[in-house]
Amino acid sequence: MRSPEPRPLAWRRPAPGSEPAAAARPLASGGAGWPVWEPDAGVPGGVRPADPPAPWPGGALVSGGVPAGVLTVSELTARIRLRLESDARLRQVWVRGELSSCKRHSSGHLYFSLQDEGATLRCVMFRSAARHLGFTPEDGMEVLALGRVGVYEPAGTYQLYVETLEPAGLGALYLALEQRRQRLAREGLFDPARKRPLPAWPRCIGVITSADGAALRDILKVALRRNPRLQVVVAPVPVQGEGAAQAIAEAIRRFNRWGRADVLIVGRGGGAREDLWAFNEEEVVRAVAASRIPVVSAVGHEVDVTLCDLAADVRAPTPSAAAEVVAPELAPMERRLAELSGRLEGGVRRRLERARRRLEELAGRPGLRHPAQQVAAWRQRLERLRQDLARAAGWRVAGGRQRLASATGRLEALSPLSVLGRGYSITRTRDGRVVTRAGQVRPGDRVEVLLARGRLDAQVLASWPGEGTPLPGGDGGEEER
């Protein structure tokens, strides 16, 4: 549980003639030398710290030879811190000065000094606040800082704990704007490649602008005049001042969650450049870039260009022009549709007329007037064709049989088996060569004799390679069979 915030504090001087011992005596368990709280009806909140211990008159000493009421460095620093923190004017103070020694730590904290011609003030801006800066602090910039004054006890210095940091002056403001533009451009938020086309015929338009501004009246007048059937949904938001940027960004996100709008118009009427500043805020620019619904930006007049214009899918110079961009004029399209409808109707009629004449022509043909007779004639013709096909097939088969029988006879006449059947034989050597001449074998060689039925294993007794001259080793007898 957090401790309650202390009320405003102030030191009370001892009343003249008061007993010194009472001033030196602690009123609580804090020990001598530390501030002690006691009621005081004269101070807002009714609480004052007790008077600090004071030495006895004449410089009386306590144990150790040290004068009573002597403070340590830590005690003195703590008293100074309490004195500063008790001043309500220093808890929330604006300070103007020039930035110097500006450095962002790896932790995200921002350390810098504010200076003018007479003094220098050390400052620290913690990460939780520094990450929301809309510009890049640089040495030499003149800024306005809002924060509280405190004491950094380890160094014994006082410093400003900054909560808000803004450029001072219009020139510095536009310098911060340019820095923001360059940073967002590097992230690709203004890249033309990511911009989406607008729907040709939107049914629902979302408008994000002030409810009582001229911009809304112009948008409604132009959009509904061009397309009376168009649905327009308005998200009223403040367009300038505190909270405007957050409201605009949230309206964009709400339309995206709703999901029924086909296109969004974000804008306002003309004004001073400072009045348009909400549309330069980073939260609005990022919401426009992240929108799934195409966004048309229409801020101010044609000469006014904001970061919202750069991030939007389409930039319109005025709210009226934005309505013309998103709402195509319905009357010319209706005339065009009527013309196309007439042409389509005429074309259909002509085709139907041609089809009717063709049908009448076909209906006048004999085959269509008496279909049964036509079918009977086709059946007779089909039967004749079937008979012709059967006869032709029979002739082809008979001719094929005759040719096959003739070829079979010739083949059988030339077959070696037929020759063997007439008493001839085939003689082969042991290695399978056919013997056609007597000189291929010698007496004593064994040969194989193939007959029409079976085979013989024989031995050559004699051979006559020429007429009547037996080879040596034979007696001229017949070959054994």
Q: Which residue has the tokens 């804008």?
A: 267
pLDDT averaged per 10 residues in sequence order, the chain, 481 residues? 37 40 36 37 42 46 59 87 84 88 92 90 93 84 89 88 84 76 93 94 95 93 93 95 95 96 94 86 96 95 87 95 93 85 91 89 73 83 90 88 86 75 83 86 88 86 71 46 36
- What whole-number distance in Å separates Cα of residue 403 and Cα of residue 389? 21
Q: Tell me, which fold does domain 174-331 have in CATH?
A: Rossmann fold (3.40.50)
| Amino acid residing at 210 | S
Token reading at 52 = 């600090």
- What whole-number distance in Å separates Cα of residue 215 and Cα of residue 319? 6
Q: For residue 245, give Cα distances in angstroms to 168, 209, 242, 248, 266.
A: 20, 11, 8, 5, 12
Long-range contacts, 136-139 (Cβ 8 Å, 24+): 136/176, 136/179, 136/183, 137/99, 137/102, 137/110, 137/112, 137/165, 138/99, 138/102, 139/99, 139/100, 139/101, 139/102
Strand positions, DSSP E, 50-156: 93-104, 110-115, 120-125, 142-152
Q: For residue 211, give Cα distances in angstroms to 235, 251, 452, 453.
A: 8, 13, 124, 124
Using an 8 Å Cβ cutoff, are 401 and 393 in contact? no
CATH no. for 73-169: 2.40.50.140
Using an 8 Å Cβ cutoff, are 81 and 152 in contact? no
> What pTM value is reported for the model?
0.45
Alpha carbon 328 to chain centroid, angstroms: 30
pLDDT at residue 44, as a whole number? 40
pLDDT at residue 414, as a whole number? 75
| Domains of the chain by residue range | 73-169, 174-331, 421-460
Order of strands across the sheet that contains 295-299: 231-236, 204-209, 263-268, 295-299, 314-315
pLDDT at residue 407, as a whole number? 87
pLDDT at residue 68, as a whole number? 66
